[in-house]
Amino acid sequence: MHILFIADPLASFKIYKDTTFAMMREAAKRGHTINACEVSNIRWAQASGVVADTQIITLTGQADRAWYVASPLQATPLKAFDAVIMRKDPPFDSEYFYATHLLEQAEREGAKVLNSPRALRDHPEKLALMEFAHLAAPTLVTRDIARIKAFHAEHQDVILKPLDGMGGVGIFRVRDDALNLGAIAETLTADGTQTIMAQRYLPAIKDGDKRVLLIGGKPVPYALARIPQGGEVRGNLAAGGKGVAQKLSDSDLKIATELGETLAGRGLLLVGLDVIGDKLTEINVTSPTCFQEIFDQTGCDVAAMFVAAVEAATESSRG
């Protein structure tokens, strides 16, 4: 197969932990041709349809920035690839939104895009939680500062976070003393002009913010518990959290099983559920990670599971 990865700049990859790199390595190992581009390389014209300037990527096996060799850029219709894998990291901003429309047009022209562009739009990573509220901790989505303060007054210990962040950026905990609540709410909402999320603080975070992966609707048997370090409230690996792989608990499996078939049926081949204790906190669909950490600690080859699912999805679309 010829697989196109739409990703962030390749030079920015930290290949010792990068999930997109793990996908590429596994695909190359299986004999597939790896292609890459950035969102900025994609365009549409009436005469040509959706085209991207893409490069064929050859993996070198080196561990530094010379981990790949790239061919010259070549304009290629997206429908010419057997699979197009969207791996651009958040934020889900206007440019990401426009990219999903370009990719959806590519689907109309015959491209196989994973995850589905429409599903990416329909499942913003924090707001997708609203559909499955019965699995979540008490949560509020608003830009109204007075309502944020009232939510805090009710629950006493809360987490406030922006809707478009990743890696733990912009996450604040406000305890029962309400210290700086007003300033934090004003800053995150830009004085009431931007919507944010508030959630009741879950003490189980001390045991980790678990990333539970779904591939083709089926749960990967291991989660990565991202455990806060050094007084941090955030378990995100990018914020210094420690990743500990562990078998899915009964509650993890229950959540994963309940959501798996539904999300897969909407075109979400790969999903990363964030679970604290027995509560669902986020549904990540843009570029779920943790493949390499789970493999390194358990031997569970998540990348192989994913590429096999891509092969199956591509084969079924041909059939």
CATH class given for the domain over 2-122: alpha beta
Does residue 17 carry a catalytic annotation? no
Please give the average per-residue pLDDT across 79-93, as a whole number: 94
Q: Identify the active-site residue in 126, 200, 210, 279.
A: 126
Contact 214, 264 (CB under 8 A): yes
What would the pLDDT profile of 33-49 be if each residue is shown by its tens digit?
999 999 999 999 999 99
**Mean pLDDT across the chain, nearest whole number?**
95
Q: Identify the active-site residue in 35, 226, 236, 293.
A: 226
* Domain boundaries along the sequence of the chain: 2-122, 138-201, 204-311
Contact 293, 243 (CB under 8 A): yes
Q: Identify the active-site residue in 18, 104, 282, 293.
A: 282
**At what angle are helices 181-188 and 145-155 packed, to 10 degrees?**
130
CATH 3.30.300.170 fits 138-201, yes or no: no
What is the pLDDT, as a whole number, of residue 166?
74
CATH architecture entry for 204-311: 2-Layer Sandwich (3.30)
Higher pLDDT, 186 or 91: 186
Q: Identify the active-site residue in 82, 115, 284, 293.
A: 284
Does residue 266 carry a catalytic annotation? no
Is residue 189 pLDDT above 90, yes or no? yes
What would the pLDDT profile of 244-260 be if each residue is shown by its tens digit?
999 999 999 999 999 99
Contact 287, 5 (CB under 8 A): no
What is the pLDDT, as a whole number, of residue 65?
76
What is the pLDDT, as a whole number, of residue 145?
98
**Token pair in block for residue 213:** 């992966």
What would the pLDDT profile of 133-177 be if each residue is shown by its tens digit?
999 999 999 999 999 999 999 999 999 999 987 777 889 999 999
Fold match between domain 2-122 and domain 138-201? no
What is the pLDDT, as a whole number, of residue 49?
98
Please give the average per-residue pLDDT across 54-62, as a whole number: 96
Query: The whole model's pTM is what?
Result: 0.94
Is residue 239 pLDDT above 70, yes or no? no
Q: Identify the active-site residue in 26, 82, 164, 274.
A: 274
Q: Identify the active-site residue in 25, 88, 112, 211.
A: 211
Q: Identify the active-site residue in 234, 236, 252, 279.
A: 234
Does residue 126 carry a catalytic annotation? yes
Q: Identify the active-site residue in 25, 87, 88, 161.
A: 161
Does residue 161 carry a catalytic annotation? yes
Please give the average per-residue pLDDT across 10-33, as a whole number: 97
> 122-150 burial, b if ≥16 CB within 10 A, otherwise e?
bbbbbbbbeebeebbbebbebbebeebbe
Does residue 284 carry a catalytic annotation? yes
Please give the average per-residue pLDDT across 62-83, as a whole number: 94
What is the pLDDT, as a whole number, of residue 234?
67
Does residue 154 carry a catalytic annotation? no
Sequence-distant (≥ 6) Cβ neighbours of residue 71 within 8 angstroms: 55, 56, 57, 58
In percent, the amount of the chain with pLDDT more than 70 equals 97
Give the C-alpha separation, 3 to 33, whole Å. Answer: 6
